Amino acid sequence: MDPAGKTVVVTGAGSGMGRQIALELIRRGARVAGIDINEATLRETGTLAPDGGKDFAPFVVNITSKEAVEALPAKVLERFGSVDGIVNCAGIIQPFIRLAELDYAAIERVFNVNWLGTLFMTKTFLPHLLERPDAHVVNISSMGGFMPVPGQTIYGASKAAVKLMTEGLHSELKDTKVRVTVVFPGAVATNITVNSGVAIPSAPAGGKEYKTLAADKAARIILDGMAQNQFRVLVGSDAKMLDRLYRLHPRRAAGFLANQMKDLLEP
């Protein structure tokens, strides 16, 4: 879907990749309904918009609340008159520890934001998208949604749920005007750790350095994929390499990544 002249709802628009997607959409001629739980950072996104914020509307919403999400379409329609697309970008990671050490409160929090938030947004806006002549759903999964990452096992499970739900939706909507794209970012430079209330342990001296992709570049890759109606979008050289490796030899790929990440899980 070409976003020019369209209205797109973006979750996680207050920071990181969600903010950059919102700003890039406006640069490409879209109107954006920005969704975030943090009002201050969400309004800051509006001040950064290239149009002075006239095509950006902030909505402070907790996407883990089904009732709050279900009240959202009416507000967006009142502001912009239509909804042509959604980009579900909001997400958090878990504490960087093994499953055996992870408490249920953390598990539920990760699934509520990453899985239920995406589900609520997708299901709530879908009837409105089906009424449009051209519409799009973009759901952000993760490299961790197809590849096991030690210390992020529950995060990966939540993103795997997003992956399969989105792929199933793609099949269900194949005879409609609604296109569906699932996105698998690798390591992207965002403040997801801060937003998640999680600190990544420091690797020992001489440990590996982990390269990240700039969030604005990731946003451009994602929106190029939307414009081309791609089924799946891999963001970053790490995601592309591990996708190929995992398809070729899943067990070896899992072992490779476990070895790369082991410094962060050492006691």
Judge whether 148 lies within some domain.
Answer: yes
Whether the predicted pLDDT of 205 surpasses 80: no
Judge whether 25 lies within some domain.
Answer: yes
CB contact at 8 A, 190 and 250:
no
- pLDDT tens profile 3-32: 999 999 999 999 999 999 999 999 999 999
CB contact at 8 A, 12 and 18:
yes
- pLDDT tens profile 212-267: 899 999 999 999 999 999 999 999 999 999 999 999 999 999 999 888 877 777 55
Supply the mean pLDDT for the chain: 92
pLDDT, average across residues 38-51: 94
Judge whether 188 lies within some domain.
Answer: yes
Q: Residue 125's domain is classified under what CATH number? A: 3.40.50.720
H-type alpha helices, the chain: 16-27, 39-48, 66-70, 72-80, 104-111, 117-129, 153-172, 192-196, 215-227, 237-248, 250-261
- Residue 177 structural domain: 7-265
pLDDT for the residue 211 = 77
Q: pLDDT-derived band of residue 190, with 50, 70 and 90 as boundaries?
A: confident
- The yes-or-no answer on residue 210 being catalytic is no
Judge whether 149 lies within some domain.
Answer: yes
Judge whether 211 lies within some domain.
Answer: yes
Judge whether 13 lies within some domain.
Answer: yes
Dist. CA 207–CA 94, nearest whole Å = 22
As for how many domains the chain has, the answer is 1
Judge whether 1 lies within some domain.
Answer: no
pLDDT for the residue 266 = 58
Judge whether 253 lies within some domain.
Answer: yes
Name the active-site residue from 104, 155, 210, 246.
Answer: 155
Global pTM value: 0.91
- pLDDT tens profile 77-121: 999 999 999 999 999 999 999 999 999 999 999 999 999 999 999
Integer Rg of the chain from CA? 18
